[in-house]
Structure 1
Amino acid sequence: MRADRLLSLLLLLQSRGRMTAPELAAELEVSVRTIYRDVEALGAAGVPVAADRGPAGGYRLMDGYRTRLTGLTGAEATSLFLAGAPGPARDLGLGPFLASAQLKLRAALPAPAAGQAARVQERFHLDTPAWFRDADPVPHLAAIARAVWDQRTLRARYRRWSGAQAHREVHPLGLVLKGGIWYLVAAGTDRPPRTYRVSRFLDAEVTEETFERPAGFSLPAYWARSAQHLEARLHQGTARLRISPRGRRLLPMLFGAAGARALEAAGPAPGGDGWSEVELSVEAEPVAVGDLLRLGTEAEVLAPESLRRAVADTVTELARRYRTSGEVHMPSGTDRPGERGVPS
């Protein structure tokens, strides 16, 4: 354990520069006294660690010293190969660089770790798009990524959900890949950050104008808040359903986390016929009707009454269109029985 900690201390100083003993202790989750002993051990091993005194002091490696050790365990090296999703890297124009980096990393690893990394690529594959849906075309993703990386203003033409086009000048703050779909988080020159679907950009020009990122902005924190807000905005109501045993199995498959939460709150199914009642978060009524009909005859809407009526009206209209009264609807101009010599 101490050898691992010494290596971690060395790599911290190499990657971050000067750090105080309390900072190192907090990072490595040990006492300050342990850090003092570890620094002495590194010095005894020939690692040139300098100690600067004063308010701006701390420990640092002597100028020019770098270790060639990566400190990667077999599991750590394996995780790096697993994290390298070729599809997103290709979208960003980084596919060849990812392959080159993996080759270099494998060559630098000891034989056991390199073997584990090779097995990961043989036995695990990351496929980010959702089932039965092709990935969005994103011809401007590479340019947008360059603007994000270089912190440059982006001028673009964007197609809204309504189909209308809008011209935007934005400060790109980050890219997010969700369910195989790329999103850009960007702030306007006088607007807070918002989310854009990258496939809806009709053109994108990276300008020479740079910008300052908002102080304290965190892309993961923004995305988590945005996702929660979207879910709260979409799920505007609750439907009480009576569902069959098969309906219980379908609920999380068709409604994701909302379906799983409904089942968890409902508890185990009762005995008898196995039907049970659940309360499911649903979107606005027109959307909820279509979503609930996917359950078919495995569910019955009990409440609210307006949603129950809307589902019943939709089912009635479907029955009218697909009536099985035996009446045959013939295309215009088609001979009917008894006409033009066709036996009746």
Structure 2
Amino acid sequence: MKRAERQYALVDLLRAARLPLSAARLAAELQVSRRTIERDIGALQSAGVPIYADHGVRGGYSVLREYSLPPLNLTAAESIATLAGLALLETSPYQGAARRARAKIDAVMSDEHRGSVRQMLQTMHTIETASPSDETVPFGLLSDVIAVRRVVHLGYLGEHPDGSTDHGSRTERDVEALGLLRAGDAWLMIGWCRLRGAIRGFRVDRIVALSILDEVPPERDPALLEADLAQWPTRRLA
């Protein structure tokens, strides 16, 4: 998380809290050190953000409840599109971040739009034909894999001819993770599979074991991935 994003999140946490939050609690929530939190609070105070310290057993940091960093100022239609898009990430490796983002947008939405936006979202549905089982790895770990750029070791389940998961066909393989792909109703981790010596897509609901190795993968020719993706009508999200 970038410094500016972290400071926005820090103010959001303080505004939502009913009681003062300690530096240790804030550090745990944002997954940084206590010293980083103290530096961020100092920087925000210097910029005029009304954060103050409460001393005592239940002491910590608070912010004036009426204070807010500049909102996104989304229209009702923009709020619907954004919240619907984030809801579709519920079964993705970014489900945790998507839930937090939805909560932030909901918190700053104007009362004028809130009712109509929620009413419209209730008319939208999605059919998820594949859902993660207890044996698959946590979705959040997969987003970390893409970010750290390391070789990963997978325990992966194959599939029956009818497309269902074959629980008796587990393979072990080392993979150089390259990105994520949404295909139909499933998310896939794309990577260079060293077992097959080629680009492969691994359904995240069939990855039953995953460990991040210390090895940094070599640079692969981008044309290899582009050629593989060219088989389908894919598009980049940015």
Q: Which residue pairs with 1:140 in the alignment?
A: 137
Q: Which residue pairs with 1:280 in the alignment?
A: none
Shift in Å, 1:160: 4.0
Q: Which residue pairs with 1:152 in the alignment?
A: 150
Residue type of the partner of 1:208?
Answer: D
Aligned partner of residue 184 in structure 1, secondary structure: strand
* Structure with bigger gyration radius: 1
Unaligned 5+ runs, structure 2: 5-46, 48-68, 161-167, 234-238
Residue type of the partner of 2:155?
Answer: R
Change (3 A) 1:200 1:104: closer
Q: Which residue pairs with 1:197 in the alignment?
A: 203
Q: Which residue pairs with 2:113 in the alignment?
A: 113
Structure 2 counterparts to residues 173-212 of structure 1, below 5 A = 173-188=178-193, 191-211=197-217
Change (3 A) 1:186 1:117: same
Q: What is the number of equivalent residue pairs in this alignment?
A: 160
Q: Comparing both chains, which one has the higher relative contact order based on Cα–Cα distances under 8 Å and sequence gaps of 6 or more?
A: 2
Change (3 A) 1:197 1:94: closer
Separation of aligned partners in 2, 1:148 and 1:185: 10
Separation of aligned partners in 2, 1:158 and 1:189: 13
Aligned partner of residue 203 in structure 1, secondary structure: strand
Separation of aligned partners in 2, 1:222 and 1:112: 48
RMSD (CA atoms): 4.0
Separation of aligned partners in 1, 2:144 and 2:125: 27
Aligned-residue sequence identity (percent) comes to: 17
Per-residue CA deviation, residues 295-324 of structure 1 (Å, 9 max, x unaligned), is: xxxxxxxxxxxxxxxxxxxxxxxxxxxxxx
Structure 2 counterparts to residues 297-308 of structure 1, below 5 A = none
Match for residue 77 of structure 1 among 76, 79, 91: 79
Aligned partner of residue 98 in structure 2, secondary structure: helix
Residue type of the partner of 2:212?
Answer: V
Change (3 A) 1:147 1:127: same
Structure 2 counterparts to residues 97-112 of structure 1, below 5 A = 97-112=97-112
Match for residue 173 of structure 2 among 146, 149, 168: 168
Q: Which residue pairs with 1:94 in the alignment?
A: 95
Structure 2 counterparts to residues 299-338 of structure 1, below 5 A = none
Shift in Å, 1:69: 4.5
Q: Tell me if 1:226 matches 2:231.
A: yes
Higher helix share: 1
Change (3 A) 1:119 1:208: farther
Structure 2 contact 71–108 (Cα < 8 Å) conserved: no
Per-residue CA deviation, residues 199-224 of structure 1 (Å, 9 max, x unaligned), is: 443421122333466465798x6675
So what's the TM-score if we normalise by structure 1?
Answer: 0.37
Per-residue CA deviation, residues 17-45 of structure 1 (Å, 9 max, x unaligned), is: xxxxxxxxxxxxxxxxxxxxxxxxxxxxx
Unaligned 5+ runs, structure 1: 1-13, 15-63, 229-344
Shift in Å, 1:117: 2.5
So what's the TM-score if we normalise by structure 2?
Answer: 0.51
